[in-house]
Amino acid sequence: MKKNNAKAAAGVKEIARLAQVSIATVDRVIHNREGVSEKTKAKIQAIIDKLGYQPNVLAQRLALAARGAINLAVLLPAISSETEFWQAPKDGVNKAAGEIRQYGVTITYFYFDQNDENTFEKQVKKIVRASPQGILLTPTFPEPALRLIEHCNNTGTPYVLINTDIPGYDAMSYIGPEIFRSGYLAAQLIHYGIRNNKKVVIAKIAREIDNNYAILRKEEGFRAYFKDHGLSNGLLTLDSLQTEYAVVSRKLAKLIKQEPDIGAVFVTNSRVSLVARFLEAAGRKDIILLGYDFTTDNVQYLKTGNIDFLICEKPQEQGYRGIMTLFQHLVYSNTIEKSYLMPIDIITRENYIFYRN
């Protein structure tokens, strides 16, 4: 082991001698740290490539072990039949955890009820007391999320937001979709299939709407498309703070009775299966239906043709990349990327079988 470490050190010394820089400068380049000019970095990298130098991974592991275990906190909604979507980010986190466990990294989950802001606040307090070395969260409730972020800024704790960012706030790092463009794309898909005289329903089905940035931003993007293209279709709104099928179906039945010229429904979240269930029962195959997320119920209605399009945004990859970003920053001092936007995928009956979250 000592022989291998000495060989690695000798390699770094030789690179430093040839580049006429300090060993510390070479170390910064190898581990992608800041503080080295682009010219010097290029010179050192050319020497590294020429020598075929490979960092001693074993030595890096030993150095990490000497620093002590790293604990990362993950703040996500509790998973239930209503919140199946969040299984995918959790799967991504678990995949990353399995890959970095050997480096002494552990993950602690903190779950909240996405219909209850108090549960989010309680978990924020627990995280603050736990003092993790890094935090991955989805800021479902912006105000308590900002309090946690303020704590991170005060303590120098790195954090990553996934799935949705916070309006007007310059976060350390965001991994997820460009939400406005996601809504804009949804409108474009409906525009392709709807006749000019038909009306479009924007359905927001959630226990919390007014403070749900993701839902409101998607609606904003959707409306912007119709305005930008001068479309004359009437845009109707259906809001339901109750997410039970019986309530949603009653509201839909009432709206369709009042507005018989509805040609499409855009659901701003994963609860599109509720609308699909109603349209199937009503025998309304003539209404275009579009919503979000590759959940079990949604895919079933996609297969039967009751849902025309699902927009999906790689939630599993969001969780995986979020943890790996924190790990690489804490262990290798890699700079945290400010924004990593997920692809906005369009899933249909014809291609769903090939899709992976």
Residue 66 has pLDDT above 70, yes or no: no
Stretch 64-68: mean pLDDT: 55
Q: Looking at 10-14, 82-86, 131-135, 343-347, which range is the least confident one? A: 10-14
Quick one: what percent of the chain has pLDDT higher than 90? Answer: 69
> Residue 57: how many CA atoms within 13 Å on its side-chain side?
3
Residue 269, pLDDT > 70, answer yes
CA–CA dist 293, 272 (Å, integer): 9
Token digits for 75? 């703040």
> Rounded to whole angstroms, how far apart are CA atoms 236 and 280?
21
Q: For residue 67, what pLDDT is reported?
A: 58
Dihedral pair phi/psi, residue 106, rounded to 5°: -120, 155
Confidence of residue 2 (pLDDT cuts 50, 70, 90): very low
The H or E element containing residue 70 is strand 70-77
DSSP-derived 3-state class of residue 254 = helix
78, amino acid identity: A
Could you tell me if 139 and 166 are in contact, meaning their C-beta atoms sit under 8 angstroms apart? yes
CB proximity list for 197: less than 8 A, separation 6 or greater? 233, 261
The answer to whether the CB of 64 falls within 8 A of the CB of 331 is: yes
Q: What is the pLDDT of residue 170?
A: 85
Query: What's the confidence (pLDDT) of residue 1?
Result: 43
199-255, pLDDT tens digit by residue? Answer: 999 999 998 888 888 999 999 999 999 999 999 999 999 999 999 999 999 999 999
Nearest to 134 by CA among 70, 61, 67, 91: 70
Q: How confident is the model at residue 6 (pLDDT cuts 50, 70, 90)?
A: very low
H helix runs in the chain, sequence order: 2-19, 23-30, 38-51, 57-67, 87-100, 117-130, 142-155, 179-193, 213-228, 245-258, 272-282, 296-303, 315-332
Q: Average pLDDT over the chain, rounded to whole? A: 90
Tokens of 299: 């895919």
Q: What number is the average pLDDT over the span 282-288?
A: 95
When pLDDT is cut at 50, 70 and 90, the band that residue 4 belongs to is: very low
Torsion of CA 165, 166, 167, 168, to 10 degrees: -110
What is residue 176's DSSP assignment? Answer: E
Q: Which residue ranges form the domains of the chain, and what is each CATH number?
A: 2-64 (1.10.260.40), 69-177+315-343 (3.40.50.2300), 179-312 (3.40.50.2300)
Q: Which two tokens stand for residue 140?
A: 């479902």
Confidence category of residue 64, pLDDT binned at 50, 70, 90: low
Q: How many Cα atoms are found within 13 Å in the side-chain-facing hemisphere of 322?
A: 36
Each residue's pLDDT tens digit, 83-102: 789 999 999 999 999 999 88
